[in-house]
Structure 1
Amino acid sequence: MRYEGTVYRPPSEAYSLIIQATIGCSHNNCSFCSMYKEKSFRIRSVEHILEDLSEARRRYAKVEKVFLADGDALIMRTVDLVTILKGIKELFPECKRVGVYGSPKSILSKNLEELKELRNHGIGIIYLGIESGSDKILKEINKGVTAKDIIEAGRKAKGAEIALSVTLISGLGGKENTKEHAIESAKVISEINPDYLGILTLMIEEGTELKHKIMSGEFSLLTPREVMEEMREFIENTEVQGTIFRSNHASNYINFAGVLSKDKGKILQEINYVLENNSLYKDERFRGL
């Protein structure tokens, strides 16, 4: 199998066969992200992808999950994705799910019937980085979409009956916009009602536009306590049914978990306990990967 550069995958795809369907990220302009900056985005040929799958079949006796990397494999033409999915099914009949990163733009570029076709051929989950529900913050981080776009994309994935896992980033609005980040993100999540919700905490990457803003004083990082206060406000204002919530990424100061429709009160109690006992936060040296 041929891998180019650093390959990223969601935590839940830790034991999946990872195949690069695209190289890099189709947007690759977010001010906080350095993940794909060393790569020029391109879509790999279907032939090469199928060759990698065949090699993986020779190497591995059992493959139950496949993840199509890099940052936005869903942007590929539906006909090509279907060919790849058919190849996965033929080579790995034991495969239970294919996962993929999807951007709001790539989801919106496909109609509902195309998404349903992809589901029928094996796409079982789409990972969507929302980052924030605030149009102001989305513009400042160069996300390239609006909250309305994100809601439409999320609802479309749900309408196709594909599991949807979304992520937000605590502290992404800085001290200047922490309340807006919490409230507007809660509105977007409530509108989408995703299957899974993960919250990361902002990590500052060298060489990013956001790093320069911090150095120049244009952006002020939240303290661990302010991150907790922001999360409390977000949880208080989020109304969903059945959404599985996790805040257990390496970047988080404190881990929380539950199903928001039934564990909301418990999670808020845990947050309040942390705020009352101000020394429980993870040391900065142990944040990150």
Structure 2
Amino acid sequence: LLIKPDTEKPLKHGHTTHNQDSSETSVNTASHTLFRPPAEAGSVLVRVADGCPHNACAFCAMYSGVPYREYTTEELAVCIAEAAREYPYARRVFLADGDVLALPQKTLSAVLALLRASFPRLARVNCYASARAMMNKSEEDLLSLRQAGLHTLYLGLESGSEAVLKLMRKGTSALDMVKGCQRVQRAGLNISVMVLIGLGGQKHSAEHIDGTVQTLNAMQPQLLSCLRLVPVAGTLLARWIRAGHFVPLTEMEAVLELRAIIQGLELGQSVFRADHASNILPLAGRLPKDKDRLLAELDELLGCGVLDGAGPGIMPSLL
């Protein structure tokens, strides 16, 4: 499956549903919705698998009802050839679906070789990756993929709290995610990490903050995105909320949680974004250079008296 870059003419095989500034953009296709990060808005999207091999997180419905399937070599060759015919001068490719690094090393190597041969101006190839996939690849494998053109891996940390990760059925630990990130960084790959503000709810907010700060400081990601948890209908989390077992953060609590996380970060050099549609105040900068400015912007918001201290405010709802 080939999806055109957002910067091109209207899509032939689907349509984008969010703008380029959102932290997660979806593309509706004939089979199922495809997701990609906003930084990939100008990339040719090439699906190399369907769904997510884990697909059990309590908060996520991205791949609900989509059986996991890895594409055959023949399917991949046809897809890449089609992409090259339509976009011979593409410089960026994003490989989908939910955990592309989990594909066999032989398959990934073949895909990257085909892309290099098909796109003479190709500069980088990026994809989603899980900690399990990172740990299942040797450092030699990861180095080989980097040398073949793989550039940035997008990891959903969600929370650095082991208790919150277990509650949300993430299927991995914060420690394993740290080890995975360190392994791929040693191979020269960049890491883009996503955190969900409010994932611990009111009950686990403090440990969500502390664990996330500790984990991010250990990871030292090149890119960091924070977005606010938006409960989605049909998820286990949505059922917990309706039953009163999970109490989401209020609008004010969400801002305070984000502020506490930023305050605790000790990152050497990271691009920071909190400009998803779910965020109350769009933030962007570089850490540590812009840390004081980001905190000041949040303090100004907290002091202006407009935040909802009893409910979610104007947060979009998918329940």
Q: TM-score when scaled to structure 2?
A: 0.87
Per residue, is there more helix in 1 or in 2?
1
Relative distance call for 1:244 and 1:153 in structure 2 (3 A) is: same
- Secondary structure at the counterpart of residue 111 of structure 2: helix
Q: Could you tell me which of 204, 209, 215 is aligned with 1:182?
A: 209
Amino acid at match of 1:176: K
Is the aligned partner of 1:125 residue 2:152? yes
Residues of 2 paired with 1:166 and 1:213: CA distance?
A: 26
Residue of structure 1 equivalent to 2:5: none
CA shift, 1:284, in A, is 2.5
Residues of 2 paired with 1:69 and 1:176: CA distance?
A: 35
Q: CA RMSD in A?
A: 1.6
Residue of structure 1 equivalent to 2:260: 233
Q: Tell me the alpha carbon deviations over residues 210-237 of structure 1, each in whole angstroms, 9 at most, x when there is no partner.
A: 0000000000011111011111111111
Asked if 1 retains the 8 angstrom alpha-carbon contact of 2:227 and 2:279, the reply is yes
Residues of 1 paired with 2:152 and 2:141: CA distance?
A: 15
Residues of 2 paired with 1:61 and 1:106: CA distance?
A: 30
Is the aligned partner of 1:45 residue 2:72? yes
- Secondary structure at the counterpart of residue 212 of structure 2: helix
Residue of structure 1 equivalent to 2:8: none
Is the aligned partner of 1:58 residue 2:88? no
Q: Tell me the alpha carbon deviations over residues 158-215 of structure 1, each in whole angstroms, 9 at most, x when there is no partner.
A: 1111111000000000011111111110000000100000001001110000000000
Is the aligned partner of 1:284 residue 2:314? yes
Asked if 2 retains the 8 angstrom alpha-carbon contact of 1:250 and 1:287, the reply is no
Amino acid at match of 1:284: I
- Secondary structure at the counterpart of residue 198 of structure 1: strand
Residues of 2 paired with 1:269 and 1:38: CA distance?
A: 43
Q: Could you tell me which of 235, 238, 242 is aligned with 2:269?
A: 242
5 Å-filtered alignment, 1:26-37, equals 26-37=53-64
Is the aligned partner of 1:134 residue 2:161? yes
Asked if 2 retains the 8 angstrom alpha-carbon contact of 1:195 and 1:244, the reply is yes
Residues of 2 paired with 1:255 and 1:200: CA distance?
A: 10
Residues of 1 paired with 2:133 and 2:277: CA distance?
A: 28
Q: Tell me the alpha carbon deviations over residues 221-275 of structure 1, each in whole angstroms, 9 at most, x when there is no partner.
A: 1111101111111111111111111000112111111112111111111111110
- Secondary structure at the counterpart of residue 227 of structure 2: strand
Amino acid at match of 1:226: E
Residue of structure 2 equivalent to 1:273: 300
Runs of 4+ in 1 over 6 A off after TM superposition: 280-283
- Secondary structure at the counterpart of residue 173 of structure 1: coil
Q: Could you tell me which of 106, 113, 117 is aligned with 2:133?
A: 106
Amino acid at match of 2:65: E
Structure 2: runs of 5 or more not aligned = 3-28
CA shift, 1:6, in A, is 0.7
- Secondary structure at the counterpart of residue 224 of structure 2: strand
Asked if 2 retains the 8 angstrom alpha-carbon contact of 1:251 and 1:287, the reply is no
Q: Could you tell me which of 247, 250, 259 is aligned with 2:286?
A: 259
Residue of structure 1 equivalent to 2:247: 220
Residues of 2 paired with 1:13 and 1:287: CA distance?
A: 25
Residues of 1 paired with 2:94 and 2:286: CA distance?
A: 25
Residues of 1 paired with 2:183 and 2:259: CA distance?
A: 28
- Secondary structure at the counterpart of residue 65 of structure 2: coil
Amino acid at match of 1:58: R
Amino acid at match of 1:274: L
Is the aligned partner of 1:169 residue 2:173? no
Residues of 2 paired with 1:81 and 1:60: CA distance?
A: 21
Amino acid at match of 2:180: A
Asked if 2 retains the 8 angstrom alpha-carbon contact of 1:253 and 1:287, the reply is no
Residues of 1 paired with 2:80 and 2:213: CA distance?
A: 40
